[in-house]
Amino acid sequence: MIEDKNQQRTQLSDLGEFGLIDHLTENFKIKQSSTIKGIGDDAAVLEFKNKKIVVTTDLLLEGIHFDLSYMPLKHLGYKAIVVNLSDVYAMHANPTQVTVSIAVSNRFPLEALEDLYAGIETAANIYNVDVVGGDTTSSNTGLLISVTAIGEVESNNEVYRNGAKPNDLLVVSGDLGAAYMGLQVLEREKEVYKVNPNSQPDLEPYSYIIERQLKPEARKDIVKLLNDLNVKPTSMIDISDGLSSEIIHLCKQSKVGCDLYEDKIPLDPQVISTCEEFNIDSTTVALNGGEDYELLFTISQDDFLKIKANPNLSIIGHIKEEREGMHLVTRAETRIPIKAQGWKNFND
């Protein structure tokens, strides 16, 4: 769908390793005072003085995590950064640096990597992080991106998964399930395209959910908002695998239970209409869809008034004693145990 047969193609073998890294990162500017030395030595050198740092890493593989038939490379570069920064925000920290390693086969011309790095650069600028290192190698198959993100947090201000207490409120930012439904639309259009390459799909009714899939954002605004409101969550996690999986992580590590109210789960109207079109239950999508990159956190009831009217935040439940278990309270007021969906990649 996105291939342009007339594009310029420079073979990667025309550049050496050093030429390639230099070329792809030459426009990258250092923005953080903690970056003493970025790309260009055996290692980057950073200095954080009295802050703690957080470190997180993710792999993205072609054919597993993304499909280049509908994922533009610039978006992919952007998303690869964002999904890691989301983990930094989930620690109540602010991201400062990333390293980006790629493995790429010869079928990618230099111009494709320039698009990928343009997306990386855009994300680095928007989120104010420095690209301080990485590795570039050839691959026998597809494209792989490995990102490690580093962030800083004032000592004792970090938030773990394990601090939720009974009676805390369970809060989520934004809305859920959109990225998953965006993926369903893109997969459907890919099948249509295979049958009729001249078809011109009207994706306008799906613009929000497709953007959530192709160009997600990490909630840097929430960390700032919570600081401005003087609310420190008791626990926090980002929603990458789906709400139910993240609730289970949070409750298990905090040794608590919870009630989650189905009618409180925030859904965008496009998610609801697209779920109807696909005949999928929207609650199931929100619970198990994944890739939302919203923040799920718990706060003390004392902080209720500070956040209750905020349009970016939804109170979706509350924490209970561990022995009471984790339940979804449905619209019909039945209580269903929340179950892990596990991880499906190895079952493919």
Annotated binding-site residues for substrate read 65, 291, 343
CB nearer to a second copy: give 154 or 281: 154
CA distances, 170 to each of 48, 101, 165, 295 (Å): 32, 36, 10, 11
CB nearer to a second copy: give 213 or 245: 245
Q: How far apart are CA 150 and CA 319, in angstroms?
A: 30
If residue 52 lies in a helix (H) or strand (E), which one and from where to where? strand 51-61
AA letter at 222: I
Interface pick for a second copy out of 53, 68, 229, 315 (rule CB under 8 A): 53
Interacting stretch for a second copy, rule CB under 8 A, among 234-242, 261-269, 277-285, 302-310?
A: 234-242
Q: How far apart are CA 266 and CA 74, in angstroms?
A: 29
AA letter at 65: H
What minimum distance in Å lies between the beta carbon of 159 and a second copy? Answer: 9
* Residues β-bridged to residue 328: 260, 336
CA distances, 166 to each of 94, 171, 173 (Å): 28, 14, 21
Interface pick for a second copy out of 23, 28, 31, 48 (rule CB under 8 A): 48
For residue 112, state whether it binds a second copy (rule: CB under 8 A).
Answer: no
Q: How far apart are CA 275 and CA 281, in angstroms?
A: 6
For residue 68, state whether it binds a second copy (rule: CB under 8 A).
Answer: no
Could you give the string, one character per residue 240-279, with x where binding to a second copy holds by CB under 8 A and - elsewhere? -------------x--------------------------
Residues 79-98 that bind a second copy (CB under 8 A): 87-88, 90-91, 93, 97
For residue 285, state whether it binds a second copy (rule: CB under 8 A).
Answer: no
Closest CA to 117 of 89, 143, 87: 143
- The backbone torsions φ and ψ at residue 340, rounded to the nearest 5 degrees and listed phi first, read -75, 140
For residue 26, state whether it binds a second copy (rule: CB under 8 A).
Answer: no
Q: How far apart are CA 307 and CA 209, in angstroms?
A: 26
Report how many residues bind a second copy under the rule CB under 8 A: 76
Interface pick for a second copy out of 50, 196, 198, 230 (rule CB under 8 A): 50
Interface pick for a second copy out of 73, 144, 218, 286 (rule CB under 8 A): 144
Residues 188-217 that bind a second copy (CB under 8 A): none
Q: How far apart are CA 281 and CA 336, in angstroms?
A: 15
Interacting stretch for a second copy, rule CB under 8 A, among 68-76, 266-274, 314-322, 339-347?
A: 339-347
CB nearer to a second copy: give 138 or 207: 138
What minimum distance in Å lies between the beta carbon of 270 and a second copy? Answer: 28
End-to-end alpha carbon distance in the chain: 25
For residue 12, state whether it binds a second copy (rule: CB under 8 A).
Answer: yes
